[in-house]
């Protein structure tokens, strides 16, 4: 048996790109993991389910109501209803379109929801909408 050996001592002139590809893949994974964290709301709200259409993107005021004693207007958190109402006043006075979207937790009481709707109307809101999750279509 004869084995052929290559005894040429040539210098490898190409660049090894394997470490570059590894670093790029790690960066892609990091961005994929951190991207959803950037759009988290101030607190979690479980929306009720209804048949809805997607709304247009306009300047709007988003009022969030949790099932506890947490309230927010455009991601600014308030601890009391009185502070929430003054936040709604300020947001509506600065808004041109006067559109209010209420994201109330499905376990939140109707009392706070009606109070917020009345306050928004008294503050000059033209359009008041209650946010819901879309119903998932059943497979036939």
133 strand-pairing partners: 49
* 134 has pLDDT over 90: no
Asked, for residue 95, whether it belongs to a domain, the answer is yes
Asked, for residue 122, whether it belongs to a domain, the answer is yes
Asked, for residue 13, whether it belongs to a domain, the answer is no
Summarised one tens digit per residue, pLDDT across range 79-126 is: 898 999 999 999 999 988 899 999 998 888 888 889 999 999 999 999
Asked, for residue 107, whether it belongs to a domain, the answer is yes
Asked, for residue 103, whether it belongs to a domain, the answer is yes
Tell me the residue range of the domain where 71 lies: 49-134
pLDDT for the residue 59: 80
Count CA within 13 A, CB hemisphere, residue 124.
11
Summarised one tens digit per residue, pLDDT across range 31-88 is: 998 887 776 666 777 877 776 666 555 588 999 998 878 899 998 999 898 999 999 9
Asked, for residue 85, whether it belongs to a domain, the answer is yes
Asked, for residue 3, whether it belongs to a domain, the answer is no
CATH (domain of 107): 3.30.420.270
Asked, for residue 70, whether it belongs to a domain, the answer is yes
Total domain count for the chain? 1
Classify 134 as helix, strand or coil: strand
The strand pair at 99-104 and 127-130 is best described as parallel
pLDDT for the residue 62: 92
* E strand residue ranges, the chain: 49-50, 61-65, 71-73, 76-78, 99-104, 127-130, 133-134
pLDDT for the residue 89: 93
């Amino acid at each position: 048996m004869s084995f052929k050996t290559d005894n040429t001592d040539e210098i490898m002139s190409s660049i090894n790109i394997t470490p570059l590809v590894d670093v790029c893949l790690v960066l892609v994974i990091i961005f994929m993991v951190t991207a959803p964290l950037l759009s988290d709301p101030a607190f979690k709200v479980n929306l009720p389910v209804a048949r809805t259409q997607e709304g247009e993107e306009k300047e709007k005021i988003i009022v969030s109501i949790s099932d506890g004693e947490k309230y927010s207007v455009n991601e600014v958190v308030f601890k009391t209803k009185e502070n929430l109402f003054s936040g709604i006043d300020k947001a509506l006075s600065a808004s041109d379109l006067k559109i209010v979207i209420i994201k109330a937790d499905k376990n939140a009481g109707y009392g706070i929801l009606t109070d917020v709707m009345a306050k928004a109307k008294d503050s000059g809101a033209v359009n008041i909408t209650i946010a819901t999750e879309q119903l998932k279509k059943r497979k036939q």
